[in-house]
Amino acid sequence: MLAAVAVLVLLVVAALLVVFVSPLFAVREIDVAETEHISEAEIAAYLEKYTGKNGLVTVLKNSSLRQRNSFFSLRLSKTEDEILFDHAYLEAVTVKFEPKHTLRVELTERKASFLTEYYDIFLLCDIHGIVLDTFTREDMPADMPLVKGIVPEGYKLGRSISDGKDRNIDAAIKICGLMTQLGMMGYVDIVDVSDYSSIRMFCAPSLTIIVGSPDDIGVRLSLLKGTMDSGVNGSSDGTLTLVDGKKATFVKNGERGD
């Protein structure tokens, strides 16, 4: 009985050894999903050292006790963490060995939402306030709202400008995030949160939008989108008020809004 068990164990060990050294599982191809801001070659550079090596051994070396499930999912967890750490634009990374010969990389990029000024540079942030990139005034991206009325204490690529202590920053992130989700990129030029209870937006050359407080802001932004889709824009030369969230009231410059 014991001899039979010993033989079975030896057979299992031998089979595993064959699997872990077999050229049938060698990495021969690196397949990287396309992204807008990061080149395939840049991501592939993290993985080229595994070309020709056994994919299962590579997965094993990329796993740890904290990431013990990654081996069974055939993911390279340590490499995923390294890529995420180095690229602020990335929200999620999956690097997976697909037998027999491919390392496949799936990437999810963050959605840029707004710009804000920090001394003489401009921070590009996503819908969570995470800093994705920095620009000068000359190379700022177009069709991205500029938030005024906030002063970040500092910034770091890949980290949010919010520390949960500044309600104006949190309001700006909330408003711009909702605008991004509503497909309102390019609708407004400036979002001014200086006055928390009376937030305003501006569209060049001559439209002012009074939004009010951040409470129930989603309703008012939906109303704003519908109103602007119907023809109100930066050339409308007046003030659009959305404070009650039920009706958009437009008053042309020079006229009374009684």
Q: Are residues 70 and 133 in the same domain?
A: no
Pair of tokens at residue 71: 């081996």
Cβ atoms of 58 and 46 within 8 Å: the answer is no
Q: Are residues 78 and 167 in the same domain?
A: no
Q: Are residues 22 and 138 in the same domain?
A: no
Q: What is the CATH number of the domain that holds 26?
A: 3.10.20
109, 138, 168: which is the final residue of a domain? 109
C-alpha closest to that of 208 among 249, 240, 245: 240
- For residue 8, give its domain range: 2-109
pLDDT score, position 72: 67
58, 79, 109: which is the final residue of a domain? 109
Q: Are residues 47 and 163 in the same domain?
A: no
Q: Are residues 82 and 157 in the same domain?
A: no
Residue 59 belongs to some domain of the structure: yes
Beta bridge partners of 109: 90
Residue 258 belongs to some domain of the structure: no
Q: What is the CATH number of the domain that holds 119?
A: 3.40.50
For the segment 186-197, what is each residue's pLDDT rounded down to a tens digit?
Answer: 999 999 999 999
Cβ atoms of 70 and 57 within 8 Å: the answer is no
Beta bridge partners of 230: none
88, 109, 130: which is the final residue of a domain? 109
Q: In the β-sheet with 121-126, what is the strand arrangement from edge to edge?
A: 131-135, 121-126, 112-118, 146-148, 190-192, 199-203, 207-212, 238-241, 249-252
Q: Are residues 219 and 189 in the same domain?
A: yes
User: In the chain, how many domains are there?
Assistant: 2
Pair of tokens at residue 37: 């801001």
C-alpha closest to that of 112 among 144, 85, 155: 144
**Tens-level pLDDT at each residue, the chain (258 residues):** 555 444 344 443 334 444 445 556 788 999 999 999 999 999 999 999 999 888 888 888 887 645 455 556 789 999 999 999 999 999 999 999 988 789 999 999 999 999 999 999 999 999 999 999 999 999 999 889 999 999 999 999 999 999 989 999 999 999 999 999 999 999 999 999 999 999 999 999 999 999 999 988 999 999 999 999 999 999 999 999 998 888 999 999 877 655
Residue 257 belongs to some domain of the structure: no
Cβ atoms of 207 and 219 within 8 Å: the answer is no
Q: Are residues 174 and 230 in the same domain?
A: yes
Residue 118 belongs to some domain of the structure: yes
